Protein backbone atom coordinates (compact mmCIF):
# COMPACT_ATOMS: atom_id res chain seq x y z
CA UNK A 1 0.00 0.00 0.00
CA UNK A 2 2.78 2.42 0.93
CA UNK A 3 4.63 1.59 -2.29
CA UNK A 4 1.53 2.40 -4.37
CA UNK A 5 0.96 5.62 -2.43
CA UNK A 6 4.60 6.69 -2.94
CA UNK A 7 4.44 5.85 -6.64
CA UNK A 8 1.20 7.83 -7.07
CA UNK A 9 2.63 10.73 -5.06
CA UNK A 10 5.82 10.74 -7.14
CA UNK A 11 3.81 10.76 -10.38
CA UNK A 12 1.60 13.60 -9.17
CA UNK A 13 4.57 15.62 -7.96
CA UNK A 14 6.24 15.14 -11.33
CA UNK A 15 3.09 16.53 -12.96
CA UNK A 16 2.92 19.47 -10.57
CA UNK A 17 6.66 20.06 -10.81
CA UNK A 18 6.32 20.82 -14.50
CA UNK A 19 4.76 24.06 -13.34
CA UNK A 20 2.52 24.58 -16.37
CA UNK A 21 -1.01 23.95 -17.51
CA UNK A 22 -1.25 23.16 -21.18
CA UNK A 23 -4.25 24.80 -22.83
CA UNK A 24 -5.37 23.67 -26.27
CA UNK A 25 -8.95 24.23 -27.40
CA UNK A 26 -10.52 20.87 -28.20
CA UNK A 27 -12.10 22.25 -31.37
CA UNK A 28 -8.64 22.87 -32.78
CA UNK A 29 -6.88 19.78 -31.40
CA UNK A 30 -7.44 17.85 -34.63
CA UNK A 31 -5.62 20.53 -36.62
CA UNK A 32 -2.23 19.25 -35.44
CA UNK A 33 0.41 21.95 -35.75
CA UNK A 34 -2.26 24.58 -36.49
CA UNK A 35 -3.85 24.28 -33.03
CA UNK A 36 -3.47 27.38 -30.86
CA UNK A 37 -1.78 26.48 -27.60
CA UNK A 38 -0.65 28.20 -24.45
CA UNK A 39 1.06 27.28 -21.24
CA UNK A 40 0.01 28.89 -18.01
CA UNK A 41 2.77 29.03 -15.38
CA UNK A 42 1.48 27.49 -12.15
CA UNK A 43 4.79 26.96 -10.36
CA UNK A 44 3.94 29.27 -7.44
CA UNK A 45 0.29 28.30 -7.08
CA UNK A 46 -0.89 26.87 -3.75
CA UNK A 47 -3.66 24.54 -4.88
CA UNK A 48 -4.91 24.18 -1.30
CA UNK A 49 -5.80 27.89 -1.26
CA UNK A 50 -9.18 28.85 -2.72
CA UNK A 51 -7.92 32.39 -3.35
CA UNK A 52 -4.89 31.16 -5.30
CA UNK A 53 -7.06 28.82 -7.38
CA UNK A 54 -9.56 31.62 -8.11
CA UNK A 55 -6.68 33.83 -9.27
CA UNK A 56 -5.42 31.00 -11.50
CA UNK A 57 -8.90 30.54 -13.00
CA UNK A 58 -9.04 34.25 -13.85
CA UNK A 59 -5.65 33.92 -15.56
CA UNK A 60 -6.95 30.85 -17.42
CA UNK A 61 -9.88 32.82 -18.85
CA UNK A 62 -7.52 35.58 -20.05
CA UNK A 63 -5.18 33.08 -21.72
CA UNK A 64 -8.12 31.28 -23.36
CA UNK A 65 -9.28 34.56 -24.89
CA UNK A 66 -5.72 35.35 -26.00
CA UNK A 67 -5.36 32.03 -27.87
CA UNK A 68 -8.86 31.99 -29.38
CA UNK A 69 -9.47 35.60 -30.35
CA UNK A 70 -7.02 37.58 -32.48
CA UNK A 71 -5.69 40.61 -30.58
CA UNK A 72 -7.21 42.98 -33.13
CA UNK A 73 -10.70 41.56 -32.42
CA UNK A 74 -10.56 41.40 -28.61
CA UNK A 75 -12.44 44.67 -28.18
CA UNK A 76 -15.29 43.47 -30.41
CA UNK A 77 -17.95 40.87 -29.67
CA UNK A 78 -16.71 37.31 -30.09
CA UNK A 79 -18.06 35.14 -32.88
CA UNK A 80 -19.77 31.83 -32.08
CA UNK A 81 -16.63 29.95 -33.11
CA UNK A 82 -14.49 32.13 -30.85
CA UNK A 83 -16.87 31.63 -27.92
CA UNK A 84 -16.79 27.87 -28.50
CA UNK A 85 -12.99 27.96 -28.67
CA UNK A 86 -12.76 29.92 -25.39
CA UNK A 87 -15.23 27.56 -23.71
CA UNK A 88 -13.25 24.50 -24.84
CA UNK A 89 -9.94 25.99 -23.72
CA UNK A 90 -11.37 26.95 -20.33
CA UNK A 91 -12.90 23.50 -19.92
CA UNK A 92 -9.52 21.88 -20.63
CA UNK A 93 -7.74 24.18 -18.20
CA UNK A 94 -10.36 23.79 -15.46
CA UNK A 95 -10.04 20.01 -15.66
CA UNK A 96 -6.29 20.31 -15.14
CA UNK A 97 -6.73 22.79 -12.27
CA UNK A 98 -9.30 20.52 -10.62
CA UNK A 99 -6.98 17.53 -10.93
CA UNK A 100 -4.06 19.44 -9.43
CA UNK A 101 -6.24 20.84 -6.63
CA UNK A 102 -7.58 17.40 -5.72
CA UNK A 103 -4.04 15.99 -5.65
CA UNK A 104 -2.81 18.87 -3.49
CA UNK A 105 -5.68 18.34 -1.06
CA UNK A 106 -4.95 14.59 -0.87
CA UNK A 107 -1.25 15.29 -0.31
CA UNK A 108 -2.09 17.82 2.39
CA UNK A 109 -4.45 15.37 4.13
CA UNK A 110 -1.82 12.58 3.93
CA UNK A 111 0.77 14.82 5.57
CA UNK A 112 -1.65 15.70 8.36
CA UNK A 113 -2.69 12.07 8.87
CA UNK A 114 0.88 10.79 9.09
CA UNK A 115 2.30 13.59 11.23
CA UNK A 116 4.12 12.35 14.31
CA UNK A 117 2.46 13.48 17.54
CA UNK A 118 4.53 15.90 19.60
CA UNK A 119 3.59 14.46 23.03
Q: How confident is the model over 46-105, as pLDDT tens digits?
A: 999 999 999 999 999 999 999 988 888 887 889 999 999 999 999 999 999 999 999 999
How confident is the model at residue 35, as a pLDDT? Answer: 59
Three-state SS string across 79-110, please? CHHHHHHHHHHHHHHHHHHHHHHHHHHHHHHH
Q: How confident is the model at residue 34 (pLDDT cuts 50, 70, 90)?
A: low
pTM reported for the whole predicted model: 0.67
Q: How confident is the model at residue 119 (pLDDT cuts 50, 70, 90)?
A: low
Contact 23, 38 (CB under 8 A): yes
Domain-wise residue ranges, the chain: 2-105
- The larger pLDDT score, comparing residue 29 to residue 9, is at 29
Amino acid sequence: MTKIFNLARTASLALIATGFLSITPAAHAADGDQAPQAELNIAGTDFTSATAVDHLINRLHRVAIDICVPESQQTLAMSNDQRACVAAAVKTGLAQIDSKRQQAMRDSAARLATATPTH
